[in-house]
Amino acid sequence: GWLSGYVAAVTGGASGIGRSIVERYLEEGASTVVVLDRDAERLAELQAACPDRLVTLQGDVREAASHEAMVAAALKHGGRLDVLVGNAGVFDFNRPLRSYTPNRLNATLEEIIAVNVRGYLLSAMASADALATSRGSMIFTCSIAGFHAGCAGTLYTISKHAVVGLVRQLALELAPQVRVNGVGPGGTLTDLRGTAALGHAERSIGIHLEETARTIAGSTPLGFAQEPRDHAGLYVLLASRENARAITGEVLMSDGGVGVRGV
């Protein structure tokens, strides 16, 4: 496999795109994959499905200690860290600005930035030294909403645009030891949740899965709704020193062609 002997850490790896990355990394020969997620039940399911070479940790990406524990687990169980995947995120369900009150806006903005942006920064901070030692790389899940309007509400769009800045700035700051890249999925059939601030912690984009699939397929040039496994190979490619040695500061889009469409 392309990642034979690699040690990886993945946030939000218990579900959706993250879980697909974890499964592909194991298939590609990773020797240890550490998964940090807040969902204990899904971590247990994943551990049962992949009993070997997997270490699961329950924690919140808004806390620095969760990331420190994740990196410590990689070093303890794998002896090194080759790739950090920042992926845990929450959505705003396309909420328009005018539907917020100022208090709701503050609380929702704080939560979305804390998970989608601060969570990635804390991952980067906790893993930078170990990745510099291994000449490894970071990969962050961005989005079509990191480049275009109309794919989400303002708050989620801001958070994913911020991830593009994070990728570019850290690519320079951490060069030449660590490569830093992103993957930008388009609409993907997952259990992506909303914010507690809006009472949407249990609301999922997957609730009306068939309707969601039809909507995404209808607005995507390639004509289908993406599945998590459609993106996983890009995380393999970017992690691979052999295949992506010269790639840093890039966000590889995986959006079915949505990004090329003008009016």
**Residues engaged in binding ligand NAD (CB under 6 A):** 12, 14-18, 37-39, 42, 60-62, 87-90, 115, 141, 143, 185, 187-188, 190-193, 205
Q: Which DSSP state fits 253? A: E
Cα distance between the two ends of the chain: 42
Which CB atom, from 162 or from 192, has the smaller least distance to ligand NAD?
192
Place of tokens 């845990």: 88
| Smallest separation (angstroms) from ligand NAD to the CB of 163 | 8
| Smallest separation (angstroms) from ligand NAD to the CB of 237 | 17
The Cα angle at residue 73 between residues 168 and 87, in degrees rounded to 5: 35
| Smallest separation (angstroms) from ligand NAD to the CB of 22 | 11
Q: Which residue is nearest to ligand NAD (CB)?
A: 16
Of 6, 100, 120, 156, the active-site residue reads 156
- The letter for the amino acid at 6 is Y
- The letter for the amino acid at 48 is A
Cα atoms in the 13 Å half-sphere on the side-chain side of 39:
21
| Smallest separation (angstroms) from ligand NAD to the CB of 57 | 10
Euclidean distance between CA atoms 219 and 31, whole angstroms: 39
Q: What is the DSSP string of 8-22?
A: EEEETTTSHHHHHHH
Which CB atom, from 134 or from 186, has the smaller least distance to ligand NAD?
186
Which CB atom, from 14 or from 167, has the smaller least distance to ligand NAD?
14
CA dihedral 113, 117, 118, 123 (to 10 degrees): 150
215's CB contacts (< 8 A; 6+ apart) are 187
146 near 214, Cβ under 8 Å? no
Which CB atom, from 46 or from 130, has the smaller least distance to ligand NAD?
46
244 near 250, Cβ under 8 Å? no
Euclidean distance between CA atoms 249 and 235, whole angstroms: 14
Which CB atom, from 15 or from 134, has the smaller least distance to ligand NAD?
15
Tell me if residue 254 falls in helix, strand or coil: strand
| Smallest separation (angstroms) from ligand NAD to the CB of 121 | 13
Residue 156 designated active-site: yes
Which CB atom, from 87 or from 220, has the smaller least distance to ligand NAD?
87
Tell me if residue 65 falls in helix, strand or coil: helix
| Smallest separation (angstroms) from ligand NAD to the CB of 13 | 7
Q: Point out the residues that are catalytic.
A: 156
